[in-house]
């Protein structure tokens, strides 16, 4: 369990970072530059390979000098995540709920495409930082005045977050596989085309065959948008039912 002093120090760095000194010798680096370098390293090698030594090497300084700015790797990752979430163009307070929630989901989706290393963190323990909480506030705000109970609002936003994370992880895994194999998804499935003629048993899988023949497995132009629309349709029905029940 983290010690109280460690928690206080960790939160203070997020909410009240030290200002650059105004007297004496100018610092060689700024906290923002350290966080930017950490983000760049994570983009290149992934979060698991992120180390203070790698960040220092990118900045051209000794690893020990970084501890002047951040106590350690954990605090650096907190700041990197907050910096990334600060890129979100969140829905405004006056946006209709569906427009706002759709924008929230799409913004988070694009964030994960830009910074896939975030998906390597424990998403249940994101830092209690200004920009992370700004995102949660904006997401909750889209639903709070729709007639849903407070519990249902939290539940639905959690569902949207889980949906976005799940598809984002799948998309990132596909990109990694494409790079490793040198083969796109379409090229992979084309290479497996003999399976359908030589091995697939239509009698064993009649429902799958029926849906296939009806075009059910045709890939939509944008699977994320199509799936998000279906999810929001379900949210809309839940809102309508809550309003009817008063």
Tell me the pLDDT tens digit for each residue of 44-84: 999 999 999 999 999 999 999 999 999 999 999 999 999 99
Clarify whether residues 112 and 42 are in a common domain.
Answer: no
Distance of CA 68 to the CA centre of its chain: 29
The pLDDT of residue 199 is 95
The pLDDT of residue 90 is 98
Clarify whether residues 58 and 113 are in a common domain.
Answer: no
Can you list the residues of the chain whose pLDDT is less than 50? none
- Count the Cβ atoms, other than its own, within 10 Å of residue 9: 14
Distance of CA 219 to the CA centre of its chain: 23
The pLDDT of residue 6 is 83
Clarify whether residues 19 and 134 are in a common domain.
Answer: no
Residues 13 and 78: beta-carbon distance below 8 Å: yes
The pLDDT of residue 211 is 95
Residue 147 lies in domain = 90-245
The pLDDT of residue 21 is 62
End position of a domain, from candidates 56, 84, 112: 84
What Å distances lie between residue 227 and 147, 206, 232, CA to CA?
Answer: 24, 25, 9
End position of a domain, from candidates 49, 84, 119: 84
The pLDDT of residue 127 is 96
Question: To which H or E segment does residue 19 belong?
Answer: none
Clarify whether residues 235 and 162 are in a common domain.
Answer: yes
The pLDDT of residue 2 is 64
Cα–Cα distance for residue pair 180/25, rounded to 1 Å: 48
Number of structural domains in the chain: 2
DSSP track, 218-238: PPPS-HHHHHHHHHHHHHHHH
What Å distances lie between residue 103 and 89, 93, 109, CA to CA?
Answer: 8, 12, 10
Name the residue with tokens 């009806």. 214
Clarify whether residues 69 and 148 are in a common domain.
Answer: no
End position of a domain, from candidates 42, 64, 84: 84
Clarify whether residues 80 and 94 are in a common domain.
Answer: no
Clarify whether residues 58 and 94 are in a common domain.
Answer: no
Inter-axis angle of helices 150-181 and 223-245, nearest 10: 170
């Amino acid at each position: 369990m983290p010690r109280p002093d460690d928690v206080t120090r960790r939160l203070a760095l997020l909410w009240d970072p030290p200002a650059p000194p105004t007297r004496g010798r100018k610092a060689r680096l700024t906290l923002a530059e350290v966080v930017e370098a950490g983000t760049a390293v994570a983009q290149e090698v992934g979060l698991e390979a992120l180390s203070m030594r790698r960040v220092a090497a990118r900045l051209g300084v000794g690893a020990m000098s970084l501890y002047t700015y951040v106590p350690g790797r954990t605090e650096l990752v907190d700041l990197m995540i907050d910096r990334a979430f600060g890129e979100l163009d969140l829905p405004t307070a006056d946006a209709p709920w569906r427009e706002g929630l759709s924008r929230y989901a799409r913004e988070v989706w694009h964030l994960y495409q830009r910074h896939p290393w975030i998906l390597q963190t424990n998403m249940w323990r994101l830092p209690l930082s200004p920009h992370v909480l700004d995102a949660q506030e904006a997401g909750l705000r889209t639903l709070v005045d729709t007639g849903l109970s407070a519990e249902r609002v939290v539940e639905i936003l959690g569902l949207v977050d889980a949906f976005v994370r799940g598809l984002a992880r799948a998309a990132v895994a596909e990109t990694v596989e494409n790079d490793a194999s040198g083969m796109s998804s379409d090229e992979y499935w084309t290479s497996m085309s003999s399976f359908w003629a030589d091995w697939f048993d239509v009698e064993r899988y009649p429902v799958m065959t029926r849906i296939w023949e009806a075009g059910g497995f045709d890939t939509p132009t944008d699977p994320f948008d199509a799936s998000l629309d279906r999810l929001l349709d379900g949210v809309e029905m839940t809102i309508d039912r809550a309003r009817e029940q008063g």
